[in-house]
Amino acid sequence: MRGYIVFTLLVWIVNGVFSDEVSVNEGDSVSLNTGVIKQPDNLMLWYFNDTRIALINRDPSTSCLYDGEHRRFRDRVEVDYETGSLTITNIRSEHAGRYEAVINRSKSSGTSKSLNSDSKCNSTKIIKRKNSTQAETIKTFNVFVTVPGSGLSAGAVAGIVVGLLVFAAAVASAGVIYYRHRSSRQGVERPNLELLKKDQV
């Protein structure tokens, strides 16, 4: 436990931000809000495990939502173009991981050049995160997805524990019975051996 805490603190120091942990049930939607007010000329980028899933520019026509690797985010990502918040709908276990909101406060960030000199959005393009002096990570979320039925219920765990206790009690009882039976046989046999010795003398 202590090692996990130290590792988490190191991750926070390296990233320069504190991560929020978010738990959500499979099939639900989750909204990730940075709490930062996005200025019109700010460019906001969202990454999932260092792969871009959203580019939020000054308006939808110069923005782009990406399907991500294996198209796992296809038709599942929604953004608020004013606040820069990200929503994943109908979430699945494959969507569990690290989400990072990155903002570029450069004055030129509000142009269509942010789409790599292409005004059209290519949602299938895989773009990995690159370090930039103009980009700043403002929020990191660790999202955990709970799959219903993937674990044992409290009743099932209690049943298993009771079953194990009954089994252990049965084994202990069998051991006591065997020990008493063996002791009683030895107790009967000993006098007979002593009588045989007396007869031989």
Domain identity same for 45 and 102: yes
| pLDDT computed for residue 188 by the predictor | 53
157 and 72, same domain (yes or no): no
- Indicate the number of domains in the chain: 2
Whether residues 38 and 134 share a domain: the answer is yes
Residue 37 C-alpha from the chain's centroid: 28
Q: Does one domain contain both 99 and 136?
A: yes
In the prediction, which pLDDT does 42 show?
86
Is the full-model pTM beyond 0.75? Answer: no
Q: If you average pLDDT over each of 38-42, 82-86, 178-182, which comes out highest?
A: 82-86
Rounded Cα distance between 129 and 71, Å, is 17
Cβ contact 47:53 at 8 Å: yes
**Do 201 and 102 belong to one domain?**
no
Strand-pairing partners, residue 88, are 30, 77
Partners of 46 in the β-ladder: 54, 101
Question: Which domain, by its residues, includes 159?
Answer: 152-201
57, 156: one domain? no
Shared-domain flag, residues 127 and 171: no
Strand partners, 143: 22, 97
pLDDT the model gives residue 167: 75
Are 45 and 73 part of one and the same domain? Answer: yes
Confidence label for 192 from pLDDT (cuts 50, 70 and 90): low
Q: What pLDDT score does 58 carry? A: 76
Owner of token pair 């608020």: 80
Which class for 89: exposed (0-12), middle (13-18), buried (19 or more C-beta within 10 A)? middle
**Which stretches within the chain are classed as H helix?**
2-15, 154-200
pLDDT digits (tens, 9 = 90+) for 113-155: 445 444 589 999 999 998 776 778 889 999 999 988 765 444 4
